[in-house]
Amino acid sequence: MSNDSQGVTWPFQAMTFKTAKREVLDDYEADDRFAFEQKMDGVRCMILVTEDGARQVVQRHGEPLKHAASLIHVPDIFKAIGRPQKGWRFVLDGELMFDTGRYICFDMPSLTAPLMPAITPNSPFAHRHRALVSLWGYVFEDQERIGLVRHAQGAESKHLLVQTIKEINGEGVLIKDLGASYGMGARVGHSMKVKFTKTVDVIVLAVDQGRNEAGNLSGSIRFCLLPDGATEFTDETTPAWYGSCSAIGRGDVQPGDVIEVEYLAYMAGGGIREPRMTRKRDDKNPGECTVAQFVEHSKMIL
């Protein structure tokens, strides 16, 4: 571990956010105390940069970065940062987009630099963001490899950002309190994330419900979808896609039923991210449950 001149210990542990329902967005759009940012879908990591050329990267809990698909991009990201002048030391918080090799910054919990106000985790987010924008324009040598997250303030700009993320089928929005400090290692309540989930109607194949060793309900629901263009589901039908979700608290669900499942993103080879059964669909027949319902998830950076 090491300390900078502001008494901040490295490695950092990242600040994380609670999840809020989509319905809160309207209230926060109208509240000038909060900014909106695009929620990225990569690997969260923190980068320490010092004037002597040292570069270190850790994952959000402070442990060394281990994600193989991300590690291959780290040397190019370090090179893109450039070499700060004498007296510079800062920590970046962002998301490494391992499919493209870009590092997208969204916070800077610490900055020590000549002729600039010091930034610490106690600094309000508005100050940290302003310093990050200044740093990005002044220090980084490759601003394609190192990017800034899309940030919006004011009701009109925040509304536009939300609509744009929805249009590209992005993951969601971060709502950030402009006056809040950086809670190292904490899951804060002053800022939050809103995920743009979707729903799909699926055919139940099997239900495995029981109780675990602790006596709590457990089990899963396995389901499928038909090929695009199918109109009926029979014993001879070959499904085009399979998935599963928890059966806990889902009530009476039987093979052959149609259920609605909420999810964040789907994988073409099978499976969906963060699936949750929301209701049984007695108004739907299995022949309507095809893969044509899926919308392609986007990692596009605005």
Give residue-wise pLDDT tens across range 223-254: 999 999 888 888 888 899 999 999 887 778 89
Same domain, 38 and 162: yes
8 A C-beta contact, residue 284 and residue 157: no
Strand partners, 262: 199, 276
**What average pLDDT does range 100-109 have in this prediction?**
95
Nearest to 120 by CA among 2, 1, 3: 3
Question: At 295, is the pLDDT very low, low, confident or very high (cuts 50, 70, 90)?
Answer: confident
In this structure, is residue 203 part of a structural domain?
A: yes
Q: Count structural domains, the chain.
A: 2
pLDDT on residue 94: 96
Residue 83 CB neighbour total at 10 angstroms:
14
pLDDT on residue 2: 52
Please give the residue range of the domain that contains residue 224.
198-293
pLDDT digits (tens, 9 = 90+) for 149-197: 999 999 999 999 999 999 999 999 999 999 999 999 999 999 999 999 8
Q: In this structure, which long-range contacts are made by residues 292-298, counting pairs with CB atoms below 8 Å and at least 24 apart in sequence?
A: 292/228, 292/229, 293/200, 293/201, 293/225, 294/200, 294/266, 295/169, 295/198, 296/169, 297/41, 297/169, 297/171, 297/264, 297/265, 297/266, 298/168, 298/169, 298/170
pLDDT on residue 5: 44
In this structure, is residue 125 part of a structural domain?
A: yes
Q: How many residues appear in the chain?
A: 302
Q: End of a domain among 175, 195, 215?
A: 195
Residue matched to tokens 């499942």: 261
Same domain, 172 and 226: no
**What average pLDDT does range 253-270 have in this prediction?**
88
In this structure, is residue 132 part of a structural domain?
A: yes
Same domain, 176 and 206: no
Q: End of a domain among 170, 195, 220?
A: 195
Same domain, 114 and 84: yes
Asked if the model's pLDDT at residue 83 lies above 80, the reply is no
Average pLDDT value for the chain: 89
Contacts of 152 (CB under 8 A, 6+ apart): 35, 36, 37, 158, 160, 161
In this structure, is residue 299 part of a structural domain?
A: no
Sign for the CA dihedral angle at 171, 177, 183, 188 comes to negative
In this structure, is residue 108 part of a structural domain?
A: yes
pLDDT on residue 216: 66
Same domain, 189 and 232: no
Same domain, 121 and 210: no
Find the CATH number of the domain harbouring 43. Answer: 3.30.470.30
What percent of the chain is modeled with pLDDT above 90?
65
pLDDT on residue 30: 95
Same domain, 133 and 263: no
pLDDT on residue 137: 77
Same domain, 112 and 81: yes
Same domain, 165 and 232: no
Q: Helix (H, G, I), strand (E, B), or coil: what is residue 291?
A: helix
DSSP state of 4: -
Same domain, 23 and 149: yes
Question: At 135, is the pLDDT very low, low, confident or very high (cuts 50, 70, 90)?
Answer: confident
pLDDT on residue 208: 86
Find the CATH number of the domain harbouring 265. Answer: 2.40.50
For the chain, how many helices (H) and strands (E)? 5, 19
In this structure, is residue 5 part of a structural domain?
A: no
In this structure, is residue 281 part of a structural domain?
A: yes
Helix, strand, coil in percent for the chain, rounding step 5: 20, 40, 45
Q: End of a domain among 180, 195, 210?
A: 195
Same domain, 206 and 185: no
In this structure, is residue 166 part of a structural domain?
A: yes
pLDDT on residue 116: 83
pLDDT digits (tens, 9 = 90+) for 25-48: 999 999 999 999 999 989 999 999
Question: At 297, is the pLDDT very low, low, confident or very high (cuts 50, 70, 90)?
Answer: confident
pLDDT on residue 218: 72
Same domain, 190 and 205: no
pLDDT on residue 9: 76
